[in-house]
Amino acid sequence: MKFELQGTAAGSAARAGKITTSRGDIHTPIFMPVGTAATVKGIFHRDLKEAGAEIILANTYHLYLRPGTAVLEQAGGVHGFSSWDKPVLTDSGGFQVFSLAGCRKLTEEGCRFSSHIDGSKHLFTPESVIDTQRSIGADIMMAFDECPPGDAPYDYAEKSLRLTHRWLERCFERYGQTGPLYGRYQSLFPIVQGCVYPDLRARSAEFVQRFEADGYAIGGLAVGEPAPVMYKMIELVNGILPSDKPRYLMGVGTPVNILEAIDRGVDMFDCVMPTRNGRNGMLFTPEGIINIRNEKWKEDFSPIDPAGNCFADLQYSRAYLRHLTVSGEMLGAQIASLHNISFYLWLVKEARRRILGGDFAEWKAVMTEKLARRL
Which residues are known to be catalytic? 91, 270
By the 8 A CB rule, do 58 and 138 touch? yes
Give the residue ranges of DSSP H helices in the chain: 45-51, 60-65, 69-75, 78-82, 94-99, 126-136, 154-177, 198-208, 227-238, 255-263, 273-279, 318-326, 330-357, 360-371
What is the number of alpha carbons within 13 Å of residue 38 lying toward its C-beta? 25
Class of residue 117 by CB neighbours under 10 A (exposed 0-12, middle 13-18, buried 19+): exposed
With CA atoms as reference, report the closest residue to 220 among 98, 60, 344, 101.
Answer: 98
What is d(CA 266, CA 297) in angstroms, rounded to the nearest whole number? 36
With CA atoms as reference, report the closest residue to 293 among 272, 319, 311, 273.
Answer: 319
What is d(CA 276, CA 278) in angstroms, rounded to the nearest whole number? 5
* 311 contacts: CB under 8 Å, gap ≥ 6: 47, 50, 51, 338, 339, 342
List C-alpha distances in Å: 362 to 6, 275, 343, 369, 371.
20, 29, 20, 12, 15
Query: At residue 45, what are phi and psi to the nearest 5 degrees?
Result: -55, -40
Class of residue 10 by CB neighbours under 10 A (exposed 0-12, middle 13-18, buried 19+): exposed
List C-alpha distances in Å: 39 to 33, 63, 171, 242, 281.
9, 11, 26, 33, 20
DSSP 95-162: HHHHHT-EEEEE-SS-EEEE-TTT--EEEE-HHHHHHHHHHHT-SEEE-------TT--HHHHHHHHH
